[in-house]
């Protein structure tokens, strides 16, 4: 069974599934792909999907999808999901700029953004730039939230400013050193390969949970 869906042509928003067959699950991911009415959670720029898999293991009644543009990373995440028999995991290979093309309005319940590229000097490529927040707002159901986790001081500060200046946004929780005290959410204790490296280097891990 293939659990990966891909968009090969960024100028043509078509997805292919198993054996390269064209598919269209916009508005139907829960009913036709996961066969599960539970929440749908996306991990954006998921890399090898370590957070996607950790969330899926602890929440078997919910649906999780990792999204990234790098095929090799997606392949590794999908392989691990299949080896662990995680039936509530899928992966989507596409650019984050196009994520709103493949889901219906309000179809997504929650979003995770974990240790994205800080794109220093390129604000419009940061995943908390207003152009991305516009896309997330379209995807999320009313009251759905976004979780943002980073080790980068500049990206954290930029993200706070971007969220605070976005009309209708509301920060539910923020912390510039989540491991200094008891974790407020158990999901924050999942550690990716990159996070372990950051912690070994003495970096502080920062987190924002917000709605749009």
Residue bearing tokens 């158990």: 186
Instruction: Give the model's pLDDT for residue 151.
Output: 96
**pLDDT for position 61:** 97
According to the model, what pLDDT value does residue 28 have? 97
pLDDT at 7: 94
- Per-residue pLDDT, 193: 84
Q: At 134, phi and psi to the nearest 5?
A: -60, -40
**pLDDT of amino acid 1:** 63
pLDDT of residue 11: 81
Range of the domain at 164: 4-211
Can you give the CATH number for the domain in which 65 is found? 3.40.50.150
User: How many domains, in total, are found in the chain?
Assistant: 1
Kindly list the catalytic residues.
117
Closest CA to 47 of 83, 25, 77: 77
Mean pLDDT in consecutive groups of 10 residues from the start of the chain, 212 residues:
87 89 96 97 96 97 97 93 97 95 97 96 96 98 97 97 98 97 93 88 96 98
Give the pLDDT confidence score for residue 152 in this predicted structure. 96
67: left (phi over 0), alpha (psi -120 to 50) or beta: beta
């Amino acid at each position: 069974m293939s659990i990966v869906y891909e968009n090969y042509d960024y100028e043509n928003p078509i997805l292919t599934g198993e054996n390269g067959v064209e598919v269209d699950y916009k508005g139907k991911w829960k009913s036709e792909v996961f066969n599960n009415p539970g929440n749908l959670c996306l991990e954006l720029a998921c890399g090898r999907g370590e957070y996607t898999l950790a969330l899926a293991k602890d929440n078997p009644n919910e649906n999780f999808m990792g999204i990234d543009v790098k095929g090799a990373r997606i392949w590794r995440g999908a392989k691990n999901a299949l080896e662990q028999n995680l039936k509530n995991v899928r992966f989507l290979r596409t650019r984050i700029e196009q994520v709103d093309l493949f889901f219906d309005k309000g179809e997504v319940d929650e979003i995770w953004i974990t240790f994205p590229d800080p794109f220093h000097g390129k604000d419009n490529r940061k995943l908390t730039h207003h152009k991305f927040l516009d896309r997330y707002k379209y995807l999320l159901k009313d009251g759905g939230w976004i979780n943002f986790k980073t080790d980068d001081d500049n990206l954290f500060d930029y993200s706070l400013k971007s969220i605070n200046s976005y009309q209708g946004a509301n920060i539910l929780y923020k912390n510039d050193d989540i491991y200094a005290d008891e974790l407020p959410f158990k999901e924050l204790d999942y550690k990716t390969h990159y996070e372990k490296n950051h912690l070994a280097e003495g970096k502080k891990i920062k987190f924002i949970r917000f709605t749009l």
